[in-house]
Amino acid sequence: MLRKKYIPHSVAWELTLACNMNCTHCGSSAGATRPNELTTKEALDLCDQLHDLKVKNVNLTGGEPILRKDWIQIATKIRSLGMNISILSNGLAIDETRVALFKKLHIYAVAISLDGATPETHDGIRGVKGSFKKCLETLELLYKNDLPVTVITTVHKGNFEELPKIKDLILHKTRAWQIQIAVPIGRFPKEMMVSEKDFYALALFIASTRKQYSPKKLAIMGAHSIGYHSQIIRNTSVSPVWKGCQAGITVLGIQSDGSVKGCLSLPDTFIEGNIRTKKLSEIWNDPTSFSYSRHPCSSDLKNHCARCKYGNTCHGGCTTVSSSSTGSPHTDPYCLYSIEKRLGITR
Amino acid sequence: MYTCNMLTYNIHTLRGGTMDTRRKMNPMLHELGHTLGLNDTDITRAKQTTKSMLGMAIISAVVILIGRIVSSQLDATGLYYVGVSIRDFGFFSRFF
């Protein structure tokens, strides 16, 4: 008998598109709820379907996931089925009561967004006055309660230079720090994206900080889109090796209206189906689904990736970054190896 | 003289030091690091060493092997694409 070929170990589930912030870099253009979000019954049924697909980790995101009234019911169901839960939040609505719920759920991670080292920057990006202060209070509260808290910083031209200050700010308020770059989807304007030079400096910063502090003191990680085959810089990611975009291979994204993508960050043109019309397993196991990552051809590689010696395993980097910044899914310009070649960076 | 320097260089490398701490740093690397306040020591810290490269190679091989045993197509990366938690920092992440 054939073994199942692909397993979505990690699922990002947008519980709702409703959000109490208005971030300049939001890739989902979150704010109001989607017109046709899943009902509680549909959401609970989806939990069973995720379990049937052998999902291990469910990342509840949004919008702001805890704004959904039945989030605790859904989270409890997920845990009862033995799957891990991470919550990605902006921290604004987290209080003692919710912290107690997180503890009860034995949450895998609570990730809080912090995008600046000053109220001016953070509040400016997030569009809510006072959110910087509240964010720091939330981090303190989570840390004090011994929850596995992670800070997520989304970097663009508006906050790039504040990274060293953010590091000093969070040193004793978090257990982990994930840094990712903002990409031009949703509300985020392309001209605010970091330059390739800044991107390289960012990788240097992550690698250096990672070496400076033990994981116990500050576990810093670059998101999957930061890296690829540098000949100079240490690994910046949690994974020891980059083997191409995992959207539709080990990762799955579900929108609050039931639409299914390989990765939630991808634009809507990458939607493979909807759980209202098909079972999730049918969409996942359809041999024609996720062809951009499951069956990439070397002819799909464009520009610098076409001649790259890593092309056949890398498949052109992060599909989201690549497609949003170049229009092609297999030509991520934010690649350390190609930047080193273009800028002549040597040891 | 050249041979002697190369020998010192190689021994230093094998001890896990940076490949070349005594040679002048690439100006572009210096310039880029400076934009985020990194000095030469910080930049040197960010560089790969023989030790880190060996560690990466060994851990990658182990993960690929485990990946192939527990799940076809999982390869090396799948097990690590789990989330954003401190819990994703396994024991092995110290080695690369």
- Mapping DSSP onto H, E and C, the string for A284-340 reads HHCCCCCHHHHCCCHHHCCHHHHCCCCHHHHCCCCHHHHHHHHCCCCCCCCCHHHHH
Size of interface A-B (CB pairs under 8 A): 173
Record: contact A6-B73, CB cut-off 8 A: yes
- Residue A347: what residue type? R
Q: Which residue of A has its CA nearest to B80?
A: A239
pLDDT at B2 over 70: no
Record: contact B84-A201, CB cut-off 8 A: no
Q: How far is CA A309 from the centre of its chain?
A: 27
**Residues of chain B with C-beta less than 8 angstroms from the C-beta of A244:** 77
Low-confidence winner among A121-130, A190-199, A294-303 (lowest mean pLDDT): A294-303
Our CA-based measurement puts residue A202 at a distance from the nearest CA of chain B, in whole angstroms, of: 8
Our CA-based measurement puts residue A190 at a distance from the nearest CA of chain B, in whole angstroms, of: 21
- Residue B45: what residue type? R
**Residues of chain A with C-beta less than 8 angstroms from the C-beta of B52:** 234-235
Q: Which two tokens stand for residue A172?
A: 């004793």
pLDDT at A328 over 50: yes
**Residues of chain A with C-beta less than 8 angstroms from the C-beta of B71:** 3, 7
C-alpha–C-alpha distance, residues A163 and A117, integer Å = 8
- Residue A131: what residue type? S
**Residues of chain B with C-beta less than 8 angstroms from the C-beta of A224:** 81
For the residues B66-88, what does the mean pLDDT come to?
A: 55
How would residue A88 be classed by pLDDT, with cut points 50, 70 and 90?
very high
For B:9-68, CB contacts with A below 8 A are: 19-20, 23, 25-26, 28-29, 32-33, 35-38, 42-43, 45-48, 52, 56, 59-60, 63-64
Say which DSSP state A110 is in.
Answer: E
C-alpha–C-alpha distance, residues A332 and A123, integer Å = 30
- Residue A301: what residue type? L
C-alpha–C-alpha distance, residues A149 and A112, integer Å = 7
Record: contact A240-B42, CB cut-off 8 A: no
Q: First CA to last CA across chain B, in angstroms?
A: 33
Our CA-based measurement puts residue A24 at a distance from the nearest CA of chain B, in whole angstroms, of: 22
Find the CB nearest B77 among A200, A221, A239.
A239
B83 touches chain A (CB under 8 A): yes
Residue B67's pLDDT is 65
Find the CB nearest B85 among A86, A161, A241.
A86
Record: contact A233-B84, CB cut-off 8 A: no
ipTM of the complex: 0.84
For the residues A51-76, what does the mean pLDDT come to?
A: 95
Interior angle at CA A245, CA A242 and CA A247, nearest 5: 140
For the residues A222-235, what does the mean pLDDT come to?
A: 88
Record: contact B46-A205, CB cut-off 8 A: yes
- Residue A70: what residue type? D
Record: contact A215-B74, CB cut-off 8 A: no
The count of residues in chain B is 96
C-alpha–C-alpha distance, residues A51 and A53, integer Å = 5
Q: Dihedral sign, CA of A236, A240, A244, A245?
A: negative
Record: contact A84-B82, CB cut-off 8 A: yes
Residue A341's pLDDT is 93
How would residue A239 be classed by pLDDT, with cut points 50, 70 and 90?
confident
pLDDT in tens, A168-219: 999 988 889 999 999 999 999 999 999 999 999 999 999 999 999 988 889 8
Q: Which residue of A has its CA nearest to B53?
A: A234
Q: How far is CA A91 from the centre of its chain?
A: 16
C-alpha–C-alpha distance, residues A87 and A105, integer Å = 11
Low-confidence winner among A243-247, A277-281, B10-14 (lowest mean pLDDT): B10-14
DSSP H helices in A82-177: 96-104, 119-126, 131-144, 163-170
Spatial contact of A25 and A255, defined as CB atoms under 8 Å apart:
no
Residue A14's pLDDT is 97
**Residues of chain B with C-beta less than 8 angstroms from the C-beta of A165:** none
C-alpha–C-alpha distance, residues A238 and B48, integer Å = 16
For the residues A31-49, what does the mean pLDDT come to?
A: 97
C-alpha–C-alpha distance, residues A297 and A295, integer Å = 6
Spatial contact of A222 and A236, defined as CB atoms under 8 Å apart:
yes
Q: The pTM is what? A: 0.89
Find the CB nearest A150 among B37, B63, B85.
B85
Residue A216's pLDDT is 85
pLDDT at A237 over 50: yes
Q: In whole numbers, what is the pLDDT of chain B averaged over residues?
A: 66
* Helix and strand element counts for chain B (H, E): 4, 0
C-alpha–C-alpha distance, residues B59 and B68, integer Å = 14
Spatial contact of A293 and A315, defined as CB atoms under 8 Å apart:
yes
**Burial category of A288 from C-beta neighbours within 10 Å (exposed 0-12, middle 13-18, buried 19 and up):** exposed
Percent of chain B topping pLDDT 90: 19
**Burial category of A120 from C-beta neighbours within 10 Å (exposed 0-12, middle 13-18, buried 19 and up):** exposed
- For the beta sheet containing A273-274, the strands, ordered from the edge strand earlier in sequence to the opposite edge, are A219-222, A176-181, A149-155, A109-113, A84-89, A57-61, A10-14, A251-254, A259-261, A273-274
| DSSP-derived 3-state class of residue A276 | coil
Q: Which two tokens stand for residue A218?
A: 């500050």
Record: contact B73-A215, CB cut-off 8 A: no
Record: contact A250-B77, CB cut-off 8 A: yes
